[in-house]
Amino acid sequence: MLLFDDIAAEYRDFARYAEGDSPTFADWSTRLAEDAEVIGWLADLPPIKHQPNLVFAAARLHGVAAPGPYSALREALLGDEGTIRQTILTHATQTNEVGRLATLVPAFSLVAAAAGGEPLALLEVGASAGLCLYPDRWAYAWQTDAGRVELGEIVGPHGVLACRVKGPAPLPVALPEVAWRGGVDLHPLDVADEHDMAWLETLVWPEHDDRRARLRHAVDVARSDPPRIVAGDLLDELPALVEEASAYGAVVVFHSAVVAYLEPADRERFDRLIRDLVAGGRCHWVGNEGKNVLPSVTATGPAIPADKQTFVLGLDGRAVAHTHGHGRSLRWLA
């Protein structure tokens, strides 16, 4: 997803990203990109607050129906008396999509193998409510060209994460052993707070009933064993948290659709910081971001066509797979 750019360009890019996944958001984004009056309304917000999913979620929280026509969104934004604007200013797109674990777990398994059986200490940057810190509490169903690969015991109707797989992905034969789980976020969400969890549900795209049901299951999982999430800037807090986690096992710093929300200069600072930590043997790094977010990682893999929407999964700074943004598919790179 394109951020910190021309507003119309951001919304055109989001329309391409949403195409095939959310007809509502693809339509809203396409129409908004041509609507000078609404673009002018958005221009009064800080650049980080122009994000389509944030704007759409704030409008939906205040009554705009989705699926629904663009005209209703337009009327709500231009007629806003301050409530939608305030929600945009005080909230963030902390999606916490647990479906991405189906694409992250193969990378975790490589770290576990390299650690010689040592348990993992998982440290998520941009952790939101920490829902993705429980890869050992889910079942998985990877559909490969050779057939279906299943892992884990399914608990409840929404406790399995399904993913289409292409290429020689190192699908694990055992769930990861997690000895410690924690994270850092500027504004952590509380799994026990109903308002916080309602906001997470609003961030789920309109047509994605399966993701909403899965989110509720993920909240139940986290509520049974709440994670340790530090409130703070990941650039400031990360080294100390890596040191704390190292007492419990092989440290894996991971993130998914998080670095995109940093200012471009801070993305470069994060890249340098995490690479220094990896080079010093202090942690492993599993990153899953849009193809343009961390160019140093994307450049280590095959060229990606300009019109192809994909995330790039990196392990210790090298691209190992291309993934769907919500975890629906994984293409492992040879």
**pLDDT average, residue stretch 184-211:** 93
pLDDT digit string, tens, across residues 275-285: 999 999 999 99
User: Does 147 lie in the same domain as 66?
Assistant: no
Q: With a cut of 80, say whether residue 5 has pLDDT above it.
A: no
The pLDDT of residue 270 is: 97
User: Does 286 lie in the same domain as 265?
Assistant: yes
User: Does 128 lie in the same domain as 29?
Assistant: no
**pLDDT average, residue stretch 316-332:** 96
User: Does 266 lie in the same domain as 198?
Assistant: yes
**Distance of alpha carbon 253 from alpha carbon 63, whole angstroms:** 38
The pLDDT of residue 34 is: 97
- For residue 96, what pLDDT band results from cuts at 50, 70 and 90? confident
User: Does 148 lie in the same domain as 14?
Assistant: no
User: Does 86 lie in the same domain as 114?
Assistant: no
- What CATH number is associated with residue 252? 3.40.50
- Confirm whether 1 is domain-assigned: no
**pLDDT average, residue stretch 20-24:** 92
User: Does 217 lie in the same domain as 187?
Assistant: yes
Question: Which of 62, 90, 118 lies at the terminal end of a domain, its last residue?
Answer: 90
The pLDDT of residue 2 is: 54
Q: With a cut of 90, say whether residue 334 has pLDDT above it.
A: no
User: Does 162 lie in the same domain as 60?
Assistant: no
Of 120, 200, 105, the C-alpha closest to 160 is: 105
Q: With a cut of 70, say whether residue 4 has pLDDT above it.
A: no
User: Does 18 lie in the same domain as 148?
Assistant: no
The pLDDT of residue 117 is: 81
User: Does 73 lie in the same domain as 136?
Assistant: no
Per the model's pLDDT, the better-predicted residue between 71 and 334 turns out to be: 71
The pLDDT of residue 3 is: 58
Domain count, the chain: 2
Question: Which of 42, 71, 90 lies at the terminal end of a domain, its last residue?
Answer: 90
User: Does 118 lie in the same domain as 68?
Assistant: no
Average pLDDT, the chain: 94
Of 100, 121, 101, the C-alpha closest to 111 is: 121
Question: Which of 29, 61, 90 lies at the terminal end of a domain, its last residue?
Answer: 90
Q: With a cut of 70, say whether residue 1 has pLDDT above it.
A: no
Whole domain around residue 290: which residue ranges? 98-332
User: Does 119 lie in the same domain as 81?
Assistant: no
